Structure 1
Amino acid sequence: MGKKKNKAPPVLLQRLGDHFGTDPGALPLVERSFAKYDRPNLHQAIMEIAGAGVELLGVIPRNDYEPVTLARIVRQASAKNMDLGPVQHVDETLPGNRRMACVKRGLFLFRYRDMPVAIMQDEERFTSSPRLTIEVMAGESAAAEELLRRIEKETLQGKAFRGGVISLKGDCHRGFAVQFHQLPALAREEVILPEDLLQRLERHTVDFSRQSGRLKAAGRHLKRGILLHGPPGTGKTYSAMHLASRMPERTVFLLTGADIGMIEQAVAMARILDPATLILEDVDLIGTRRENQMVGANAVLFELLNQMDGLAEDADLLFILTTNRPDVLEPALAARPGRIDQAIEIPPPDEDCRRRLIALYGKGLVLELEELDDLVRRIEGVSAAFIRELLRKAAVHAALEEDGEIVVRDRHLAAALAELMVAGGPLTMSLLGASVASED
C-alpha cells in the first residue's frame, strides 16, 4: 500500500507559517481592546506603523458564533473553521464630512523592526457594548508588547478626530458614541456685537490661542474659561460658534441638553486632543445654586467643577459656557478663580447693532424702507433672534402680496411687528428674547 499523503494545513495557518518561517502556534500573543468610536484612530495607527509593505487578509469564520482570533487560527483543529476571504471594512464618518473605510475584521502581516509580526483585528459580537479587539503576534514577547504599546499610544492620540467638531451621545449601557458636526462659516461682520465687546471676546479666545506657545513659554497657564451671559436670543451661542470657527486648529466639543452629562468623557478626550475648546450651552440647567437643584443635576455640576479643577495649568483647554440666568448660577462655578476667568455679558443689540441686524437678515430681499429710523427706535430692547424672525415674517407678508422678487416695505414690517408683539402675546416675545415695552 502507498504512503498516506500529508494533508495541507488550513490556508490561514499556512500563510502565518510562511510569514514567520516557523510554527506560529509557539509564538507569543498579546491583546488589547478599544472603544468602537476609536475605529478610525486605530485603523490609522496600524496602517501608519505597518507601512506600504503590509499584506492584509480577510478572515471568514464558518460559524458566526465562533470568535476570530490568532489563537484559534494557529491551531489546526480550529483553523479549519476559518476561510480566507475579502477584508471587511466599515465606512466611518470623520470631521469635515470626510469618510474613511476602516478594517472591521482583518489579518495584517508585515515586518516591524525587521521582524515578522501579525495583527488580528476584529469586533466583539453578541454583546450590548461591543469593543474592537486586536491581537499582536511576534517572535518575541518584548517585540509584541512594544508594538501593542505603540499602537495604543498612536490610537489614543486621536489623529482622525483632531480639528473636528464633536459631540458625545450616551447610551443605555453607559457607553457613548462620537458624532461630528460642521460649524457654520461665519464672517466676522456677521457677528453683530459692539466692536469693543467683540474684541474683548476675541482677545480672551482667538488672540490667546494664537499666542499660546509664547504664553506657555513665559509660564502663563493655558486653561481658561469664559461665561457668556445675557437674555435669550442675544447671540451667546452664535458668538461661541463664531469664536470656535476662528480657531480651526482646536478640536471643539459641543455639550448641550442631556449630553452635558458627558462632561467627564468630553474633558478626558479634550485632554488627549489638546488644544481643545469645550462649549457648554445653558449651563444654568446644571449650575444653579446647590440648594435649588435636584440630585442628578448636582452630580453633573460637581463633575464639571472637578474636571475644571483637575486640569494641569499647561492644558490648553478653553471652556465657553453660556447662560440666560447668571443670577442663579452656582457661585463656585461663576466666581472662583481658575474655573471661570471672564464673565462677559451679551446684551440686547444697541441702535447701531439693530440696524446692522436688519441689513444682515434682509439679505436676499429688496428692502424699500422709508421709516427705518422709526422701526429701529420701536424695537429697542429686542434680541437678535427677534429681528431675524421679524424679517422672516415681513418677507412672508411681502411674498403673499405680489409675485416675483420679494420686496419688503414699511407696511410689511409693521404687520410682522404687530403679529409678534401684539398677536403673539408676551409668551412669543419672551421666547424671542424681547423685553420691549408695549406699543402705544
Structure 2
Amino acid sequence: MDLGTHGQSDDELRSALTRLVKQLVQDEPNAARRGDDLLPILDAHLGVAADELAVVVEPIMIHRWADTDIALEAIVARDPAARLLGVGGGDQRHHSSLSDLMANAEWGRFRSGQVDRLNVATGPDTERATVAFGLHLFHHEGAPMVVVQRVGNPEYGSQARLEVLATDPEVVTAMLAELREESMRRSVLWRQVISFSTNPYERSMSGLTFHRRPDLPASNVVLPTGTLEQVRAHVVGLAQHRELLRDKGQHLKRGVLLYGPPGTGKTHTVRHLVSAASDTTVVLMSGTEMAHVGTAAQIARAHQPAVVVIEDCDLIAEDRDHHFGGGASPLLFTLLDAMDGLDQDADVVFLLTTNRAEALEKALTQRPGRVDLAVEIPLPEEADRRTLIRLYAAELAFSSVAISRAARESAGTTASYAKELVRRAVLLAAMAGREPSDEHLAAATEELLADSSRLTRALLGSNDDSGETSAD
C-alpha cells in the first residue's frame, strides 16, 4: 500500500467530515444564511486573534441596566467609527459566553445579526430601548475594544453582564472604571420615587417601579399644632443646612419614627414629606418589599440626598421577645446593618412608621444614631376632626353647623373615618338622586356611629373607648 496515498486519503476524509459537520450544525442552509462570521470581524477590529485574548466579565445589577446602557453609549460614541452588531444563531447564543461564541466560530454557527433590544422604564413617564444583546466595536484611549452587552435571561440561566475584549488589560480596567463613574453620574434613579413592587400596569425596570412624586401641600395635612413642623424640619429642613452641619462635624444620617393608631395620618404625612423633598431620591418599602431593605440602603447611599420609607416597620423590627418562635426576624438585622452601614455624613433619612411602637425592637429605638426623632400621630381632637371633614368636603356645600356637629359626635375617630364619612354622605345623596346636603352628612354620621358599624369603625382605626369630652 502506498502510505503517502493512504495519508492523503485520511486528510481528504477528515476535511469532508468537517465540511459535513459544519453544514449540519448551521441553523440555515448555506445559501439562505445571512450575516458574516463573527470571529473574522473581531480579529480584524482587534488586529490579533480574538480567541487568544482573555475575556473580562463585569456583572451588572439588573436594576442598574438602564444606567449601564446610557453610560456605555456615551463612551462608545466618542469613536465616530464605532459599530454595534447583533448576534445571530438561535436561542443557543443566549447560553454562550463570548469565549463560547468564539470557540464555536469555526463551525459557522454564530454570525452577525440584528441587535436585541429591551425597553426599560427610566421614570414614571419615560422609557429607553436598551441593548439587550449586542457587540460594541470601538476604540477607547486609542486601543481597539469589543464589549458584549447582554441583559441576561433567567430562562437561559444567564445574568446581566458585560464581556470585554481588548489587547491591553490596563485599557479594559480604565474603561470599566469610567463606565461605573458615568453610570452613577447619569443614573436614572436620581431624584426619583421608586419601590421594589412589580406592577405590569406601571412603568417598571427590572424589579423597580417608578412612581410619580405626590403633590400634597402642608395645608392638606391635619396634625396637632407643631407636629408637622417638627417632623418636616428633621426630614426636609435639616437637609437645607447639610454643608454647615458637615463643616461642624455633625451627622446628617437620621432616623424618624412616626407612630400611632391606624388611620391617624402617618402615611398621609409621609406622602407630604416625599412631596416636599423634591430634590431627594425616595425608596418606598412595605410588606414583602422589606426583603430588599439592604439594596434600598445601597441605592440611598449612592443617590443621596435620599429617604428610605419603611411603612409598618414592626413587621420586620418587632422586639425579639415578641417575635413568634423567639429570636428576631432576620430582616431586623439587615435593617440595623443598613442603618449602621451608612457614613455619619450621609444625607439619608430612614423614615419609619408603625401602629405598634411598644412592640419595636429596643436595639432600633433606643440606640443613638438609629432613630433620632420619634413623633406620635394621635387620634385627632375635635378641632382637628372639623378641619378634616372640611378638607374632605371642600367641594361640597355642608354648613359649618353640620360639620361641627359631625365632628363633635365622632369622638375617638380617625382621619380615615372623616374621609369615609364624607364619602358615605355623597353616596347617600347619589342614591336619593339629590345633591349632598347637611341631612346626608347627619345620616352618614348616624350610620357610621351605629352599633352595627362597630367593626367598620374599628377597621378605620377608630377608638370607641375614647374618653374625650366636648362642650356643646
Please, what TM-score do these two structures have when normalized by structure 2? 0.82
* Contact persistence 2:305–2:347 (CA under 8 A): yes
Does 2:89 correspond to 1:61?
Answer: yes
| Residues 327 and 29 (structure 1), Cα distance of their counterparts in 2 relative to 1, 3 Å cut | closer
- Helix, strand or coil: the match of 1:336? coil
1:386 to 417, 424, 428: 417
State how far apart, in whole Å, the 1-side matches of 2:131 and 2:458 are.
51
State how far apart, in whole Å, the 2-side matches of 1:121 and 1:414 are.
65
Q: Which amino acid aligns with 2:68?
A: L
* Contact persistence 2:38–2:105 (CA under 8 A): no
For 1:305, the equivalent position in structure 2 comes to: 336
| Residues 192 and 27 (structure 1), Cα distance of their counterparts in 2 relative to 1, 3 Å cut | same
* Contact persistence 2:65–2:151 (CA under 8 A): no
| Residues 102 and 387 (structure 1), Cα distance of their counterparts in 2 relative to 1, 3 Å cut | same
More displaced 10-residue stretch of structure 1: 367-376 or 137-146: 367-376
CA deviation vs aligned residue, 1:224-248 (integer Å, no higher than 9, x gap): 0011011111110111121122112
How far apart are 1:26 and its partner, in Å? Answer: 4.0
For 1:201, the equivalent position in structure 2 comes to: 231
State how far apart, in whole Å, the 2-side matches of 1:126 and 1:200 are.
47
- Helix, strand or coil: the match of 2:226? helix
Does 2:58 correspond to 1:32?
Answer: yes
State how far apart, in whole Å, the 2-side matches of 1:180 and 1:292 are.
35
* Contact persistence 2:117–2:132 (CA under 8 A): yes
* Contact persistence 1:117–1:137 (CA under 8 A): yes
1:291 to 298, 311, 321: 321
Does 2:120 correspond to 1:120?
Answer: no
For 1:5, the equivalent position in structure 2 comes to: none
State how far apart, in whole Å, the 2-side matches of 1:336 and 1:139 are.
53
CA deviation vs aligned residue, 1:341-398 (integer Å, no higher than 9, x gap): 0111112223333232222211343335643322222223321110000000000011
| Residues 94 and 123 (structure 1), Cα distance of their counterparts in 2 relative to 1, 3 Å cut | closer
More displaced 10-residue stretch of structure 1: 426-435 or 22-31: 22-31
How far apart are 1:114 and its partner, in Å? Answer: 2.1
For 2:212, the equivalent position in structure 1 comes to: 182
For 2:248, the equivalent position in structure 1 comes to: 218
* Contact persistence 2:71–2:186 (CA under 8 A): no
Larger proportion of strand:
1
| Residues 215 and 128 (structure 1), Cα distance of their counterparts in 2 relative to 1, 3 Å cut | farther
For 1:173, the equivalent position in structure 2 comes to: none
- Helix, strand or coil: the match of 1:116? strand
State how far apart, in whole Å, the 1-side matches of 2:104 and 2:36 are.
7
Trace 1:251-290 onto structure 2 (pairs within 5 A). 251-290=281-320
1:320 to 351, 370, 390: 351
For 1:331, the equivalent position in structure 2 comes to: 362
More displaced 10-residue stretch of structure 1: 379-388 or 348-357: 348-357
- Helix, strand or coil: the match of 1:290? coil
Higher gyration radius (CA): 2
Q: Which amino acid aligns with 1:270?
A: A
Q: Which amino acid aligns with 2:460?
A: L
State how far apart, in whole Å, the 2-side matches of 1:169 and 1:149 are.
31
Q: Which amino acid aligns with 2:215?
A: A
* Contact persistence 2:256–2:373 (CA under 8 A): yes
Please, what TM-score do these two structures have when normalized by structure 1? 0.88
Q: Provide structure 1 residue ranges, at least 5 long, that are not aligned to the other structure.
A: 1-8, 171-175
For 1:167, the equivalent position in structure 2 comes to: 195
For 1:108, the equivalent position in structure 2 comes to: 136
State how far apart, in whole Å, the 1-side matches of 2:137 and 2:240 are.
43
* Contact persistence 2:118–2:130 (CA under 8 A): yes
State how far apart, in whole Å, the 1-side matches of 2:213 and 2:391 are.
19
What is the count of residue pairs matched by the alignment? 424
- Helix, strand or coil: the match of 1:107? strand
For 2:39, the equivalent position in structure 1 comes to: 13
* Contact persistence 1:163–1:251 (CA under 8 A): yes
Report % sequence identity.
34
| Residues 348 and 11 (structure 1), Cα distance of their counterparts in 2 relative to 1, 3 Å cut | same
* Contact persistence 2:304–2:348 (CA under 8 A): yes
State how far apart, in whole Å, the 1-side matches of 2:37 and 2:93 are.
21
* Contact persistence 2:95–2:157 (CA under 8 A): no
Q: Which amino acid aligns with 1:150?
A: E
* Contact persistence 1:209–1:247 (CA under 8 A): no
State how far apart, in whole Å, the 2-side matches of 1:315 and 1:332 are.
21
For 1:402, the equivalent position in structure 2 comes to: 433
State how far apart, in whole Å, the 2-side matches of 1:235 and 1:147 are.
49
Q: Which amino acid aligns with 2:248?
A: A
| Residues 208 and 110 (structure 1), Cα distance of their counterparts in 2 relative to 1, 3 Å cut | same
State how far apart, in whole Å, the 2-side matches of 1:18 and 1:353 are.
76
CA deviation vs aligned residue, 1:385-437 (integer Å, no higher than 9, x gap): 1000000000001111225xxx3222211221122121543321121122245
Does 2:76 correspond to 1:50?
Answer: yes
Does 2:258 correspond to 1:232?
Answer: no
| Residues 296 and 410 (structure 1), Cα distance of their counterparts in 2 relative to 1, 3 Å cut | farther
State how far apart, in whole Å, the 1-side matches of 2:161 and 2:319 are.
44
Q: Provide structure 2 residue ranges, at least 5 long, that are not aligned to the other structure.
A: 1-34, 199-205
For 2:15, the equivalent position in structure 1 comes to: none
| Residues 352 and 129 (structure 1), Cα distance of their counterparts in 2 relative to 1, 3 Å cut | farther
* Contact persistence 1:158–1:273 (CA under 8 A): no
For 2:30, the equivalent position in structure 1 comes to: none
How far apart are 1:66 and its partner, in Å? Answer: 6.0
CA deviation vs aligned residue, 1:109-167 (integer Å, no higher than 9, x gap): 22211222111112444658641121112221211222223324444667121222222
| Residues 126 and 288 (structure 1), Cα distance of their counterparts in 2 relative to 1, 3 Å cut | closer
State how far apart, in whole Å, the 2-side matches of 1:385 and 1:81 are.
64
TM-align CA RMSD: 2.7
